Structure 1
Amino acid sequence: MASPNTDFTRSLAESHRTVAVPAAARGWRRFAAFAGPGYLVAVGYMDPGNWATDIAGGSAFGYALLSVVLMSNLMAIVLQALAARLGIAAGMDLAQACRAHYSRPVAFALWVLCEIAIIACDLAEVLGTAIALKLLFGLPLVWGVCLTALDVFLILALQRFGFRKLEAFVIALLAIIAGCFVFELIAAQPNLRDVLGGLVPTPEIVTDPARLYLAIGILGATVMPHNLYLHSSIVQTRAFAQDEAGRHEAAKMATIDSTVALALAFFINASILILAAAAFHTAGRTDIAEIDEAYRLLSPMLGVGAASVIFAIALLASGQNSTVTGTLAGQIVMEGFLHLRMKVWLRRMVTRLLAIVPAVLVVGAAGDAGATRLLVLSQVILSLQLPFAVVPLVQFTSNRTVMGSLVSPRWLGVIAWVITTVIIGLNATLLWGML
């Protein structure tokens, strides 16, 4: 690494240390002051890209890829805890740390790769929201894609009310999504023995190219590169004590917060795959890979008239939630890597247009059937970008000069490097297979 460059501004300056942590609060009240950032991060683990990969995986292979969802979620818990520790210990987000400790060419290359990942993520949000609008209101997919540009104004309206209100909005939508899938699972009545069996990994996940492609897609949809940048920034919205005890408490609370939130994300991701396996795979419909096709078949195959509508409502809530976190991540990455402050609506509009253009082209050329394929591809792209965020994160959090007393203990560092190796190995296997 290059000599540290300490010339950086506060991450997400307009929200930095704006959420009070009452000194007299204890127990649940004190934890509540820290709770919130984990749920904003969890949104990225259940965005429309997850829907595409989980539906395709559950339909084609039943419960077999459930183990990949579990493994990805466990990886995410560790990596997000590291991201939170970095923000709390170093007072920098991951983008700022890369700029401070790497040479300019390396930092610039990492910024470009991160922007590609954010565009891929935004593409999933655009397509997911457009598909939901089509299913619920009959809006043509191309028009739905164009309409998602108006999400910019939703974010601006939410940010006016402060960071706590933004978190409350996200948590409310998460509750709607979770409630929808509780209903769907009750209607689907999956076989519990098969579900538990799917949590155990099998060699076919790596040896079968079709399973591996979807497994990589699930990994890319679950462990999102931009979430590592996001989490390392938004934990700094809490006005915790800036001494050693205060930072250690903040790191502990942030880890609990993100772990609980990611447990909810695992439930929703697993529910999507279980629903597809129970409704389609067990009925011999292993060809269901399109979200809109799943919507049409859910009600008749489950025998519950509301199943399809509730499925689409959850999808729309997922797309809107992802818009919020994608906006914040884009702002954090641009400001952290480039020290370039751009108006939020302009930054969001630029990112939206970069996602809308390929979405319109694909939908126009391949029809609605191309939308889900593009969703799955966007998640594979995210997975391929993941090592370029994970390696710096693990490197920084293992460096005592950067982290001080919050440096990763040896056991945590070993686990983090093993996760990094697995991610790189899976991506290398996928690329080799594609070549």
Structure 2
Amino acid sequence: MKLQDHSASLSEVNQSVDTTVVHKSGWRKILAFFGPAYLVSVGYMDPGNWATDLAGGSKYGYTLLWVLLMSNLMALLLQSLSARLGIVRGRDLAQANRETYPAPVNFVLYILAEIAIAATDLAEVLGMAIGIQLLTGLPLMWGVGLTVLDTFLLLLLQRYGIRKMEAFIITLVAIVGISFFVELVLARPPMGEVVTGFIPSLPDDTALYIAIGIIGATVMPHNLYLHSALVQTRKIKKTNEGIRHALKINFLDTTIALNLAFFVNAAILILAATVFYKAGHTEIADLHEAHRMLEPLLGTRLAPILFAVALIAAGQSSTVTGTLAGQIVMEGYLRLRINPWLRRLITRLVAIIPALIVIWVSGEEKIGQLLVFSQVLLSLQLGFAVIPLIHFVSDKHTMGAFAIKPIVKAGAWLISTVLVYLNIRMVWSEASEFISGNNPWWIDGLIILVGLAFISLLVITIIYPWLSRYRMERSARMHPTKVTLGSLEAPSYKRIAMALDFSQNDEKIIANALAQGRPDTEYILIHIVESASARYFGKEADDFETRKDQEQLDTYLALLAGRNINAKGVLGYRHRAKEIVRIVKAHDADLLVLGGHGHKGIKDWIYGETVNYVRHYVHIPVLVVQ
């Protein structure tokens, strides 16, 4: 874990895809931009959407299709605003919030964003576990436990770059889309009745609850953080023309991706309405029951198999984007970076624990309700992501000519108002019903206090940017008004340490170390003995490898002495990286030179990540020779 010093969002892949290459044809240039919106779109078809779509379709038929269409239009506008923020300002939403709001408000916004990501991951855990159970018959408890393993899948994907990750996600999205296209062909819904579902109506309060769940499952707060960072993986021309072109192509990318997501969501709701509602099964929000009834109602074994496969693909694709969003939120708000696998593991455990508790206490039949609740919880966080986003893309001081136009601003504020109103209405309805019961006074008081805090934070989020100027001095990427480079005197190193592995790479390491020194510099040659006995006995070991390593070190020292170079050698034992750090500190070295061998993927686990570890624990310059 470390404080994040890099100013760029997702710094390891920032501007890693070059869209400015001159020799690319028109289509290849456009395709270079495509990708970020597809990673975002998986959040619009994750297992949480399935539960709300199934609930809406089975209980109200095609009636709530208009909610899906409305939420898709909302998502299209909001995601395009998120992409605009990233392209124009080079900020993700978390970074922009940190620069704008006071520290206490930012901390609460960070906690809410983490809750939203945990709720998203809860839906992914349950969806994948149910998919595994439906396909293999494995108990749900085991399926939930197995979802921890996708931590390693994400780590492997990140090793191969953003384009390979995008290709993986697009493949999973294609599996989901094709599966539901086949399901619709099998169900043969009456299109005349389907069209009537686009006429707005809410039959009762339960329909409102499900509608809010659908909106929460479709317009997801973590996607706004994610999109503003992912568009920055594209290197663009920082001219007005280049930015305008990037905005245009990204809007096209977003439109295509989100319409595909809308097709999947609509397909699930239409399938539920055609198969379940028509047959009188109006209370199906449970994925198990939906899977079980597809075969007898559609008359083919293929339908439930496709359902399970699509569910696994949807859950797996969502896990990748959820972790990326978590990284963006943590780095943007806290400037804190932790290893991706640790971040993924923590997020997954936070989701697994409530899932296991619900399964243990209430049984598998309550999983559907838990999925719907997770999506309603997501909807409650929306205002705290949408409102700051609208402020940022409306500000002419920071966005310049690319600030959104008044009509777009009006549409965005209208969407925000609708979302906040629906959330407050739902919370008021649920809280009023609960408070009217025979509860202890302190429970009712706590509920009222939380409600007031919720409204107060909304007010602060809305008003603060209008009352206070943007505090640009807090930006990690803003340059100071007066820049001085000082005298720029070259450093003089008295003791230079070099880590050697007794291979052909040593010559380069020694040459680079000598290039940094002066005639009076002392050089410290370090080698770590890694034999089995040396690992166990340390410096007390006197095995063959230890003796040979000492001889090799003495040979190096003799060759350097022949050139009048002052050097001494030190052998280390056991843990390679820790020993290098210990020896560097013990000999008070002021520069360290070591080799980077370019290991990737699984080789890092086998051979270790020496450079990455050492540079975090020595407080001197480190020169890595590739």
Q: TM-score, normalised on structure 2?
A: 0.67
Query: What is the CA–CA distance in structure 1 between the aligned matches of 2:350 and 2:108, rounded to whole Å?
Result: 19
The 3-state SS of whatever aligns with 2:332 is helix
Match of 2:616 in 1: none
| 1:181-203: CA deviation from partner (whole Å, max 9, x where unpaired) | 11000000001011111011114
- Are residue 241 (structure 1) and residue 240 (structure 2) matched? no
Q: How does 1:72-87 map to 2 (within 5 A)?
A: 72-87=71-86
Query: What is the CA–CA distance in structure 1 between the aligned matches of 2:419 and 2:279, rounded to whole Å?
Result: 33
Equivalent of 1:409 in 405, 408, 412? 405
| 8 Å contact kept, 2:294–2:304 | yes
Query: What is the CA–CA distance in structure 2 between the aligned matches of 1:103 and 1:246, rounded to whole Å?
Result: 34
Query: What is the CA–CA distance in structure 1 between the aligned matches of 2:174 and 2:336, rounded to whole Å?
Result: 35
| 8 Å contact kept, 1:114–1:226 | yes
**Distance verdict in 2 for CA 1:11–1:178, change over 3 Å:** same
Code of the aligned partner of 2:50: W
How far does residue 400 in structure 1 lie from its aligned partner after superposition?
A: 1.0
- Are residue 262 (structure 1) and residue 258 (structure 2) matched? yes
How far does residue 402 in structure 1 lie from its aligned partner after superposition?
A: 2.1
How far does residue 215 in structure 1 lie from its aligned partner after superposition?
A: 0.4
Code of the aligned partner of 2:61: G
How far does residue 160 in structure 1 lie from its aligned partner after superposition?
A: 1.0
Q: How does 1:315-354 map to 2 (within 5 A)?
A: 315-354=311-350
| 8 Å contact kept, 2:79–2:227 | yes
Size of the aligned set, in residue pairs, is 426
Query: What is the CA–CA distance in structure 2 between the aligned matches of 1:104 and 1:244, rounded to whole Å?
Result: 33
How far does residue 433 in structure 1 lie from its aligned partner after superposition?
A: 1.5
Match of 1:434 in 2: 430
Code of the aligned partner of 2:111: V
Query: What is the CA–CA distance in structure 1 between the aligned matches of 2:283 and 2:101, rounded to whole Å?
Result: 47
Query: What is the CA–CA distance in structure 2 between the aligned matches of 1:341 and 1:289, rounded to whole Å?
Result: 38
Match of 1:155 in 2: 154
Structure having greater relative contact order (Cα 8 Å, sep ≥ 6): 1
The 3-state SS of whatever aligns with 1:110 is helix
- Normalized per residue, the structure richer in strand is 2
The 3-state SS of whatever aligns with 1:190 is coil
Match of 1:365 in 2: 361
| 8 Å contact kept, 2:202–2:208 | no
Code of the aligned partner of 1:12: L
Query: What is the CA–CA distance in structure 1 between the aligned matches of 2:27 and 2:383, rounded to whole Å?
Result: 36
Match of 1:313 in 2: 309
| 1:131-187: CA deviation from partner (whole Å, max 9, x where unpaired) | 001100111111111111111001011111110000000001111111101100000
Query: What is the CA–CA distance in structure 1 between the aligned matches of 2:158 and 2:22, rounded to whole Å?
Result: 26
- Are residue 215 (structure 1) and residue 211 (structure 2) matched? yes
Choose 77-86 or 407-416, whichever is displaced more: 407-416
How far does residue 24 in structure 1 lie from its aligned partner after superposition?
A: 3.7
Match of 1:115 in 2: 114
Match of 2:13 in 1: 15
Identity of aligned residues (%): 56
How far does residue 287 in structure 1 lie from its aligned partner after superposition?
A: 1.9
- Are residue 291 (structure 1) and residue 287 (structure 2) matched? yes
Equivalent of 1:300 in 290, 296, 299? 296
Query: What is the CA–CA distance in structure 2 between the aligned matches of 1:402 and 1:340, rounded to whole Å?
Result: 25
Match of 1:393 in 2: 389
The 3-state SS of whatever aligns with 1:202 is coil
| 8 Å contact kept, 1:61–1:281 | yes
**Distance verdict in 2 for CA 1:203–1:357, change over 3 Å:** closer
The 3-state SS of whatever aligns with 1:50 is helix
| 8 Å contact kept, 1:209–1:433 | no
| 8 Å contact kept, 1:122–1:351 | yes
Query: What is the CA–CA distance in structure 1 between the aligned matches of 2:259 and 2:391, rounded to whole Å?
Result: 26
Match of 1:63 in 2: 62
The 3-state SS of whatever aligns with 2:389 is helix
How far does residue 46 in structure 1 lie from its aligned partner after superposition?
A: 0.3
How far does residue 104 in structure 1 lie from its aligned partner after superposition?
A: 0.9
Code of the aligned partner of 1:409: K
Match of 1:4 in 2: none
| 8 Å contact kept, 2:93–2:389 | yes
Match of 2:530 in 1: none
| 8 Å contact kept, 2:394–2:403 | yes
RMSD over aligned CA atoms reads 1.0
Choose 383-392 or 245-254, whichever is displaced more: 245-254
Q: How does 1:88-99 map to 2 (within 5 A)?
A: 88-99=87-98
Unaligned runs of 5+ in 1: 1-6
Match of 2:614 in 1: none
Query: What is the CA–CA distance in structure 1 between the aligned matches of 2:371 and 2:176, rounded to whole Å?
Result: 19
Query: What is the CA–CA distance in structure 1 between the aligned matches of 2:418 and 2:27, rounded to whole Å?
Result: 37
Code of the aligned partner of 1:10: A
Code of the aligned partner of 1:281: Y
- Normalized per residue, the structure richer in helix is 1
Match of 1:424 in 2: 420
The 3-state SS of whatever aligns with 1:15 is coil
How far does residue 371 in structure 1 lie from its aligned partner after superposition?
A: 1.0
The 3-state SS of whatever aligns with 2:8 is coil
Query: What is the CA–CA distance in structure 1 between the aligned matches of 2:361 and 2:380, rounded to whole Å?
Result: 26
| 8 Å contact kept, 2:116–2:221 | yes
Match of 1:189 in 2: 188
Match of 1:199 in 2: 198
Query: What is the CA–CA distance in structure 2 between the aligned matches of 1:218 and 1:307, rounded to whole Å?
Result: 24
| 8 Å contact kept, 1:66–1:199 | yes
Higher Cα radius of gyration: 2
Query: What is the CA–CA distance in structure 2 between the aligned matches of 1:260 and 1:238, rounded to whole Å?
Result: 18
Code of the aligned partner of 1:65: L
Query: What is the CA–CA distance in structure 1 between the aligned matches of 2:202 and 2:285, rounded to whole Å?
Result: 23
Match of 2:494 in 1: none
Code of the aligned partner of 2:405: P
Query: What is the CA–CA distance in structure 1 between the aligned matches of 2:418 and 2:115, rounded to whole Å?
Result: 22
Match of 2:99 in 1: 100
Query: What is the CA–CA distance in structure 2 between the aligned matches of 1:254 and 1:401, rounded to whole Å?
Result: 23
Code of the aligned partner of 1:375: L
**Distance verdict in 2 for CA 1:417–1:316, change over 3 Å:** same
| 8 Å contact kept, 1:225–1:385 | yes
| 8 Å contact kept, 1:8–1:96 | no
Query: What is the CA–CA distance in structure 2 between the aligned matches of 1:195 and 1:324, rounded to whole Å?
Result: 34
Code of the aligned partner of 1:16: N
Q: TM-score, normalised on structure 1?
A: 0.97
Query: What is the CA–CA distance in structure 1 between the aligned matches of 2:202 and 2:301, rounded to whole Å?
Result: 39
Query: What is the CA–CA distance in structure 1 between the aligned matches of 2:151 and 2:202, rounded to whole Å?
Result: 44
Match of 1:29 in 2: 28
How far does residue 26 in structure 1 lie from its aligned partner after superposition?
A: 4.3
| 8 Å contact kept, 1:394–1:413 | yes
Match of 2:447 in 1: none
| 1:387-426: CA deviation from partner (whole Å, max 9, x where unpaired) | 0000000111111122122111111111100000010111
Match of 2:376 in 1: 380
